[in-house]
Amino acid sequence: MSASSNSLFRVLRELSGEEFRSGEAIANRLSISRASVHNAVRQAQGLGVEVYSVRGRGYRLAHPHSWLDAEQVEAEAKDLGYRLHVHDQVDSTNSRLMALGQVGAAHKTVLAAEWQTGGKGRRGRTWLSPLGGGLAFSALWRFNRTASDLSCLSLAVGLGLVRALRQLGLADAQLKWPNDVLHQDRKLAGILIELHGEALGPSMAVIGVGVNVRLPEALRSEIDQPVTDLLEGLGEAVDRNHLLIECLRQLDGVLSHYEEEGFAGLRSEWEANHAFHGREARMIAAQGESWRGRVAGIDEAGALLLDTETGQRRFYSGELSLRGVSA
């Protein structure tokens, strides 16, 4: 991490959402120059953090931020068998954890970051999230299964996230095949899974999760689909440390079940939480071809079942996009 990035996060953790703090006081506390404080604040504003700057009073965050606290999360994560690493900045939590996994990182290693310079989404997209406005983490899970046995893994992970969000009070969180979490038909969270292993197993999965916590309007306009955040859904700010702990707890449950029994025992719960179940929808391929029909569910391999005018079709995740249609 560069010196400027290091100063950025140190300064941000000194700012308050309740009171102004002078640049001189922050500089003295951190043993840096006032110019370094000023530059860090400008850098933070450029990354989407709203900071009020008033001459003679200093700086204040426009909204309270719950910066990731490794010590707060680590105790509970350790009880669940996780090994937690928290970074201020990485290129991508998935890329970093995959590299660690290939040189022997332990099962249930978790890497969370305040800021991703190259966060990855499905189908080659970039995951956009402002500094402090989302939760981004990846978990490494080693399965005694082949890669083909993991075709439903993103569905199981999505179910774990929905369980976590409901524990936090978002009772109407729903799933969208194959790897999104929605609230009121707008994207709230996404999943990206990358696999590595031998054809006959075992397999290593790096499970990337991104949850929108507080998205500024300026960023929403850059995203090519309807989105929402937890602030809007719950009507109050969410502590991201609490959110991370609950996600890890629920993922531990569904992934342990998946390892032992596969997806079959989770399938009915997944379908019951699918936002498109029983609805008219359109499946669109990357090349532009599309199919319209009623969503009938998913099969044992996680394929989406769509009842069309010419019969039932099965769609496997890949270069496909599921969209709702008007009646």
Instruction: Tell me the catalytic residues.
Output: 122, 187, 323
Residue 129 β-bridge partners: none
Dist. CA 144–CA 142, nearest whole Å: 7
Dist. CA 209–CA 207, nearest whole Å: 7
Tokens of 95: 């890329």
Measured on CA atoms in the order 260, 93, 133, 84, is the torsion positive or negative?
A: positive
Dist. CA 188–CA 127, nearest whole Å: 12
Cα distances (angstroms) measured from residue 186 to each of 149, 173, 212, 223, 226: 30, 10, 11, 12, 5
Dist. CA 209–CA 192, nearest whole Å: 7
Dist. CA 18–CA 104, nearest whole Å: 44
**For residue 202, cis peptide bond before it (omega within 30 degrees of 0):** yes
Sheet with 203-212, side-by-side order of all strands: 83-90, 109-116, 134-143, 203-212, 186-197, 180-183, 173-176
Contact 176, 199 (CB under 8 A): no
Dist. CA 191–CA 147, nearest whole Å: 17
Tokens of 270: 């997944």
Contact 206, 146 (CB under 8 A): no
Contact 295, 271 (CB under 8 A): no
